Amino acid sequence: MLDGRWTGPILDQHIHLDRSNRFLDAVAEFVGAGGTGIMLVHKPSFSSALPTDLDGYRAAYSETLEMAEEARAAFGIGVGVVLGPHPVAWEHQTEPLGLERATELHLEAVGLALDHIDAGDAVCLGEVGRPHYPVSDETWSAANDMLREIMALAAGAGTSIQLHVEDNGEKTCRNLAALCDEAGLARDRAIRHYAPADVGTDFTHGLAATVSVGRGSVETLTETTANANAPWGMETDFLDDPRRPGAVLGPKTVPKRTQQLCAALLAADWDEDEVSGLMSSIHSDWPTQLYSTL
C-alpha cells in the first residue's frame, strides 16, 4: 500500500479475448489501468459452427493458447489459461448430436483440456458446469451427472475448475458443494465464476469464487470478506464480443474496483497492513494456490 492505494499485482481471474474484436487492445486497456495478470478463459465460437469432434476442440484450444502467448509477448503480463468445453456448447450440441454423443464429446474435450494442464499449457479446467437457463428435466439431470464426473476427473488430475452455473444465490453454492463432496473434489478447488459478492462462509459453503465486481460489489465484499473461509478473487467476464458490447464488465474494472475496495476497507477501520494482506491474497497468494503458476 502507498498512500492508501494498492501498488502490487492486480489479476482479472476470468476474461475472454477474441481476435475478431478488441483482443490486444482490451489487454492494453487493462494494463493501462494498473492490471498485471489475467486468467484467459477459453470461449466457444457460438457465431460459427461448434466443434463436432475432438479435432475441432483441439483447434479451438490451440487458438486460445496462441492468444495467451501473444498477450504475454506484447505486454509482459502473467497470462494463465483456463481451458475446457463450455456447458452451453454442450446443451446446444444435444440436439444435432444427440444427448449421449454430445456428452461423450464433452468429456473427451475435458480430457484434452486436462492433457494441456498436465503439459503446463493451461492451469485450470473451465469454464465447465451446467446451463444457467431453464432446460428440460432430462437435460438438467444429464448436466449434473456430467458435472459430477468432470469434478471427479479434476480431482484425479489435481486441478481446480472454474464453474459456469445458474445464479440461484446460496442454494447454488450449497448444491455445488454437495456435488464436490460426492465427486471427491475439495470445495475450495471449485471456483464459482461470475459469483455474487457475498464471500461469507454461510453463502459460499467453502467454494472458491471469482466475484463479478459490478456496481455494489465493493460494499458487499467489505461486509463479508472477514467471514470468508475460502479463496476469492475478482473478475469481469469480459466477453470481447462485438454483438454484446455492454453485456459484462470492461477491462478496466478489476483495477478500478481493487482501489475502491482498499478505500472502503480503510474507511471501515482496517489498517493498511490488513488491507495489504488481503490484496496480496486476492491477487497473488490465492491464485497461486488455485492455478499452480501464473
3-class state of residue 12 by DSSP: strand
193's grid cell: 465464476
3-class state of residue 195 by DSSP: strand
Domain ranges (residues) in the chain: 11-291
Which residues of the chain carry a pLDDT beneath 70? 47, 293-294
Sequence length of the chain is: 294
pLDDT value at position 244? 83
CATH number at 11-291: 3.20.20.140
Report in angstroms the alpha-carbon separations of 173 from 151, 154, 162: 15, 18, 13
pLDDT value at position 242? 81
pLDDT value at position 294? 47
CB 44 within 8 A of CB 60: yes
Alpha carbon of residue 37 to chain centroid = 13
CB 105 within 8 A of CB 97: yes
151's grid cell: 469434478
Nearest partner of 208 among 113, 125, 289, judged by Cα: 289
The reply to whether the predicted model has a pTM over 0.85 is yes
pLDDT value at position 47? 65
Containing H/E element for 82? strand 78-83
Bridge partners of 163? 128, 192
pLDDT digits (tens, 9 = 90+) for 238-248: 999 888 877 89
pLDDT digits (tens, 9 = 90+) for 232-283: 999 999 999 888 877 899 999 999 999 999 999 999 999 999 999 999 999 9
Nearest partner of 87 among 140, 20, 40, 49, judged by Cα: 140
As a whole number of angstroms, the distance between CA 223 and CA 283 comes to 19
